[in-house]
């Protein structure tokens, strides 16, 4: 079983990012709540210190003993300190009795009329918020600082609240982490599963299982990649099938002339003929089969060069009427020998086309030879004309025609209209394939229309171009 390495890596990345984000968020929330509690606690101690100081400063102020009791009710500790820094009276925790939080420098500041704020930690580890204010009274018409009032509030409740909040954050973080872990596993699995399918499919394709296809329908890059792999597999399969068919066809096409060459040469070598005339007939067969074999090899070589893009074209502005006249002149005798009429209908004012004159003549000759080969009686006509958008050449015959279901295959290599009569009609089965390639290399198109028993029509089209331009 293949390990989901992509899924694991993706999962690790997502989890790492989540942990970093969760840690930053946890620290931020902790700082926010801690600062909030600290600020609230400090404000509360300040308010209590101000309240007790005002009570102590009023003319009908309660006694120090009453203020100490008020402090006990408020869960705070208060200290009365004179100018020398000695504690006159206090209330609250015993651990504060040593008054180690009182410093002479702070006393001077307080007796100058200012407020002191500080944090104090006792020997037992308890923390306190401390606010110290001056107690001002009227003496002989003047305001004088009589003593310093220290108010201390324990941060125990605040610390307990912060610890509880931190526990809640930790538990929430663990829960969020476990939830994220599950979601990450699902997301990583969903994202990596198509990649694993592609990996398996490409390995199958690599070992020759070209029928392999991916069933991934998505409108994203993964879907595009899957579609590209399917297209590649389809192209490779078509190439393999085409190659196998080509090898089978070429083997068949070569076997027949080689059999004739071998058989008749053996007859002549062993003098198995009766007369000189019979020997000449055998020699004629050998000559025809040798020509047929040479023609086949030439056609294969030319088609191979065209498919590899190695064929060179001498492109120039050419007059198709001249090209057609030359082709018709060369085929006139062959058509006459079969009793066929070869007629032309050429619009000699037709625009010139940008192409290779010799290759265009080769195309026209291929079409005319094809018509002569498959027409027993009637006529072959060739027409040249143009429309507003293209120039066209039509080669039409009254031959055996082509069945509708076979029309899509007429331009394939080694295609034969009537395989049972292929020896009678001759040809290599490559002429139309070569013609189509040559027309397309020159920027044109070729079409076929046919009715079985009535004849066939081939039409070549070239788009109208302004002479002196390029295609």
CATH number of the domain encompassing residue 405: 3.30.565.10
- In eight-state DSSP terms, residue 95 is G
Q: What is the mean pLDDT of residues 269-282?
A: 86
Same domain membership, residue 296 and residue 323? no
Predicted local confidence at residue 447, as pLDDT: 95
Give the whole-angstrom CA distance, residue 150 versus residue 77. 8
Q: What is the mean pLDDT of residues 272-287?
A: 86
Whole-model pTM over 0.85: no
Question: Which range of residues forms the domain containing residue 18?
Answer: 5-161
Same domain membership, residue 452 and residue 335? yes
Say if residue 153's pLDDT is above 90: no
Same domain membership, residue 362 and residue 268? no
**What would the DSSP string read from start to end of 176-231?**
HHHHHHHHHHHHHHHHHHHHHHHHHHHHHHHTT-TT-------SSHHHHHHHHHHH
Coil, helix or strand for 317?
strand
Q: Please count the CA atoms within 13 angstroms of the CA of 184 that sit on its side-chain side.
A: 20
Q: Structurally, how many domains does the chain consist of?
A: 3
Say if residue 372's pLDDT is above 70: yes
Say if residue 423's pLDDT is above 50: no
Residue 199 lies in a domain: no
Same domain membership, residue 148 and residue 120? yes
Same domain membership, residue 100 and residue 10? yes
CATH code of residue 242: 1.10.287.130
CA-based radius of gyration for the chain: 53
Coil, helix or strand for 385?
strand
HEC string for 10-70: HHHHHHHHHHHHHHHHHHHHHHHHHHHHHHHHHHHHHHHHHHHHHHHHCCCCCCHHHHHHH
**What would the DSSP string read from start to end of 325-346?**
HHHHHHHHHHHHHTT-EEEEEE
CA distances from 266 to 231, 252, 272 (A): 51, 21, 8
Predicted local confidence at residue 280, as pLDDT: 87
- In eight-state DSSP terms, residue 127 is E
Q: What is the mean pLDDT of residues 179-205?
A: 82
Question: In which band, very low, low, confident or very high, does the pLDDT at 421 lie, cut at 50, 70 and 90?
Answer: very low
Same domain membership, residue 87 and residue 114? yes
Q: What is the mean pLDDT of residues 439-456?
A: 92
Coil, helix or strand for 134?
strand
How far from each other are the two terminal CA atoms of the chain, in whole angstroms? 56
CATH code of residue 69: 3.30.450
Rounded to the nearest 5 percent, the helix, strand and coil shares of the chain are 55, 20, 25
Question: In which band, very low, low, confident or very high, does the pLDDT at 446 lie, cut at 50, 70 and 90?
Answer: very high
Same domain membership, residue 83 and residue 125? yes
Say if residue 468's pLDDT is above 60: no
Say if residue 420's pLDDT is above 50: no
Same domain membership, residue 399 and residue 297? no
Say if residue 460's pLDDT is above 90: yes
Say if residue 204's pLDDT is above 80: yes
Residue 190 lies in a domain: no
Same domain membership, residue 26 and residue 141? yes
CA-CA-CA-CA torsion sign (313, 314, 319, 321)? negative
Same domain membership, residue 384 and residue 361? yes
CA distances from 143 to 10, 50, 110, 134, 366 (A): 74, 17, 14, 11, 127
Predicted local confidence at residue 386, as pLDDT: 93
Digit-coded pLDDT (tens) for 227-255: 888 888 888 887 787 777 777 777 776 78
Give the whole-angstrom CA distance, residue 278 versus residue 288. 15
Question: In which band, very low, low, confident or very high, does the pLDDT at 49 lie, cut at 50, 70 and 90?
Answer: confident
Q: What is the mean pLDDT of residues 436-444?
A: 91
Same domain membership, residue 156 and residue 9? yes
Coil, helix or strand for 170?
helix
Residue after which a domain boundary falls, among 110, 144, 161: 161
Give the whole-angstrom CA distance, residue 259 versus residue 274. 22
Tell which wins on pLDDT, 65 or 436. 436
Say if residue 217's pLDDT is above 60: yes
Same domain membership, residue 89 and residue 112? yes
- What the block records as the tokens of 330 is 């060369």
Phi and psi, residue 402, nearest 5°: -130, 135
Contacts of 96 (CB under 8 A, 6+ apart): 77, 79, 90, 122, 128, 152
Phi and psi, residue 397, nearest 5°: -135, 175
Predicted local confidence at residue 417, as pLDDT: 56
Which of 288-292, 399-403, 466-470 shows the lowest per-residue confidence on average (mean pLDDT)?
466-470
Coil, helix or strand for 391?
strand
Digit-coded pLDDT (tens) for 58-85: 766 566 667 777 777 778 888 888 888 8
Which of 171-180, 317-326, 438-447 shows the lowest per-residue confidence on average (mean pLDDT)?
171-180
Query: What is the chain's mean pLDDT, rounded?
Result: 83
Tell which wins on pLDDT, 455 or 71. 455
């Amino acid at each position: 079983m293949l390990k989901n390495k992509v899924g694991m890596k993706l999962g690790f990345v997502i989890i790492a990012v989540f942990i970093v984000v969760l840690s930053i968020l946890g620290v931020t929330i902790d700082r926010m709540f801690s600062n909030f509690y600290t600020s609230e606690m400090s404000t509360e101690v300040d308010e209590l210190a101000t309240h007790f100081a005002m009570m102590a400063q009023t003319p009908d102020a309660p006694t120090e003993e009453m203020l100490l009791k008020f402090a006990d009710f408020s869960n705070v500790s208060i200290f009365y300190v004179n100018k020398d820094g000695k504690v006159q009276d206090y209330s609250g925790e015993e651990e504060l009795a040593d008054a180690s939080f009182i410093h002479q420098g702070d006393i001077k500041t307080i007796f100058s009329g200012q407020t002191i704020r500080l944090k104090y930690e006792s020997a037992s580890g308890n923390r306190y918020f401390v606010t110290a204010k001056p107690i001002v009274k009227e003496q002989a018409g003047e305001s004088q600082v009589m003593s310093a009032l220290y108010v201390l509030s324990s941060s125990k409740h605040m610390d307990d609240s912060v610890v509880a909040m931190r526990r809640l954050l930790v538990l929430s973080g663990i829960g969020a982490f476990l939830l994220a872990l599950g979601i990450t596993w699902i997301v990583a699995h969903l994202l990596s599963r198509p990649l694993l399918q592609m990996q398996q499919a490409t390995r199958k394709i690599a070992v020759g299982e070209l029928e392999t296809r991916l069933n991934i329908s998505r409108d994203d890059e993964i879907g595009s990649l899957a579609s590209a792999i399917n297209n590649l597999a389809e192209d490779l399969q078509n190439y393999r099938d085409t190659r196998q068919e080509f090898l089978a066809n070429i083997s068949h096409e070569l076997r027949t002339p080689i059999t004739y060459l071998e058989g008749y040469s053996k007859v002549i070598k062993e003098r198995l003929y009766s007369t000189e005339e019979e020997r000449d007939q055998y020699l004629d067969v050998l000559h025809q089969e040798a020509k047929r074999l040479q023609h086949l090899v030439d056609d294969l070589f030319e088609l191979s060069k065209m498919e590899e893009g190695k064929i060179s074209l001498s492109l120039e502005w050419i007059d198709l009427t001249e090209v057609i006249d030359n082709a018709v002149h060369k085929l006139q005798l062959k058509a006459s020998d079969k009793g066929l009429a070869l007629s032309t209908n050429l619009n000699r004012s037709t625009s010139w086309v940008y192409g290779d004159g010799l290759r265009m003549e080769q195309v026209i000759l291929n079409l005319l030879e094809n018509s002569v080969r498959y027409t027993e009686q009637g006529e072959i006509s060739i027409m040249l004309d143009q429309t507003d958008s293209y120039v066209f050449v039509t080669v039409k015959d009254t031959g055996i025609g082509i069945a509708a279901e076979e029309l899509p295959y007429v331009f394939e290599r080694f295609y034969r209209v009537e395989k049972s009569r292929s020896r009678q009609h001759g040809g290599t089965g490559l002429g139309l394939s070569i013609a189509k390639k040559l027309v397309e290399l020159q920027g044109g198109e070729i079409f076929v229309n046919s009715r079985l028993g009535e004849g066939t029509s081939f039409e070549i089209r070239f788009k109208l171009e302004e002479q002196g331009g390029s295609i």
